């Protein structure tokens, strides 16, 4: 759904994704506003601008690094904002050079069978072999991937210009102290794309690790309706909420660990809702396709050796 992708991009406001250890910050922050730290003075406007610029540059580095990390993604979809779960899906994402290979692992608490998972590993090997020896279709997809990568970089760069950033102090969260920043739409900002228009309808809070120059968390609300083609094509309703957290998975590389959306809207005449929580864990560096294929082959060989003869 195109509008869902737009909300995803808004949620990733300052974060590279697009295109992501990891569980501790999410557990510590759930429903926690943090403890205000009032002793240290805040930065000057020039220092604050320099901090944001450093964070943006580091995010670009993490985005590129992510292209060589596999991870496990669990997506929980709910009916409205209540507790009823519509689906609970877990998959493994393996970088393929022009995106990711998705390997289903579990659906609604039921893991895939060993035979099915072996078939998925075999599929991943074939896909990585194509990446190593590109077909014409792969080359076409790679051009599209490069465009998405370029658009993503531009989006992250321009997003910093769409808001007025106000220092709000520092907060202690567990053993970590983070800078807290308030983001409000800059009335002087002129959107350069349909997606950038959404910035004018968002108020957010951003938490930053000052020492490492990394975005740690963003949480925001859609404060006014977002319309598309004058409201004819669709609308995202006021009151939506999004959140994203990321943490360090290897020195200098911060990737997403959890993000949520609670959004209602309308596509043409039909209403829709996006109420999802996605948890990303088990990051592992597997390298480019020529290296990743050896990792998958090793796993497949081990599974085959463990399977008794039938």
- What does the pLDDT look like over 265-306, one tens digit per residue? 887 777 778 899 999 999 999 999 999 999 999 999 998 777
Cβ-based neighbour number of residue 84 at 10 Å: 9
**CB proximity list for 147: less than 8 A, separation 6 or greater:** none
**pLDDT for 24-42, tens place per residue?**
233 333 344 566 665 578 8
> Do residues 278 and 265 make contact, with C-beta atoms less than 8 angstroms apart?
no
- Three-state secondary-structure class, residue 262: strand
Closest listed residue to residue 215, CA positions, set 184, 186, 185, 257: 257
The residue ranges of every structural domain in the chain are 2-306
- The strand pair at 253-267 and 241-250 is best described as antiparallel
- Three-state secondary-structure class, residue 49: helix
Read off the pLDDT of each residue in 221-249 and give the average, rounded to a whole number.
83
- Three-state secondary-structure class, residue 9: helix
**pLDDT for 138-165, tens place per residue?**
999 999 999 888 888 887 787 778 899 9
Terminal Cα-to-Cα distance of the chain (whole angstroms): 44
The residue with tokens 């580091």 is 58
Distance in angstroms (rounded) separating the CA atoms of residues 219 and 197: 18
**Who wins on pLDDT, 175 or 137?**
137
**Who wins on pLDDT, 25 or 246?**
246
Q: Find residue 71's DSSP bridge partners.
A: 93
Mean pLDDT of the chain: 83
Phi then psi for residue 102, to 5 deg, are: -100, 120
**CB proximity list for 25: less than 8 A, separation 6 or greater:** 173, 174, 176, 216, 217, 245, 247, 257
Length of the chain equals: 310
**pLDDT for 75-100, tens place per residue?**
999 987 778 899 999 999 999 999 99
DSSP state of 43: P
Task: State both tokens at 33.
Answer: 């506003």
């Amino acid at each position: 759904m195109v509008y869902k992708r737009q909300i995803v991009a808004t949620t990733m406001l300052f974060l590279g994704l697009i295109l992501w250890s990891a569980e501790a910050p999410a557990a510590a922050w759930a429903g926690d506003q943090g403890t205000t730290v009032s002793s240290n003075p805040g930065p000057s406007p020039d220092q604050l601008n320099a901090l944001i610029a450093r964070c943006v540059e580091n995010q670009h580095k993490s985005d590129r690094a992510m292209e060589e990390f596999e991870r496990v993604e669990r997506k929980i979809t709910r009916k409205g904002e209540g507790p009823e779960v519509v689906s609970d899906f877990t998959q493994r994402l393996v970088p393929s050079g022009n995106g990711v290979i998705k390997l289903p692992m579990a659906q609604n608490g039921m893991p895939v069978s060993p035979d099915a998972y072996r078939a998925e590993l075999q599929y991943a090997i074939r896909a990585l072999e194509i990446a190593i020896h590109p077909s014409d279709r792969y080359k076409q997809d790679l051009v599209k991937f490069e465009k998405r990568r370029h658009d993503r970089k531009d989006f992250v760069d321009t997003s910093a210009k769409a808001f007025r950033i106000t220092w709000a102090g520092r907060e202690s969260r567990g053993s970590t102290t983070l800078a807290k920043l308030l983001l409000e739409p800059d009335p002087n900002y002129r959107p350069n794309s349909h997606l950038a228009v959404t910035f004018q309808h968002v108020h957010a809070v951003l938490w930053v690790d000052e020492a490492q120059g990394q975005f740690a968390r963003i949480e925001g609300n859609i404060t006014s309706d977002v319309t598309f083609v004058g409201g004819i094509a669709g609308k995202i309703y006021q009151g939506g909420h999004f959140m994203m957290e990321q943490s360090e998975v290897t020195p200098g590389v911060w990737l997403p660990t959890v993000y949520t959306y609670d959004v209602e809207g309308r596509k043409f005449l039909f209403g829709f809702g996006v109420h999802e929580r996605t948890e990303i864990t088990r990051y592992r560096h597997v390298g480019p396709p020529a290296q990743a294929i050896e990792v998958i082959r090793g796993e497949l060989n081990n599974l085959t050796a463990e399977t008794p003869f039938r």
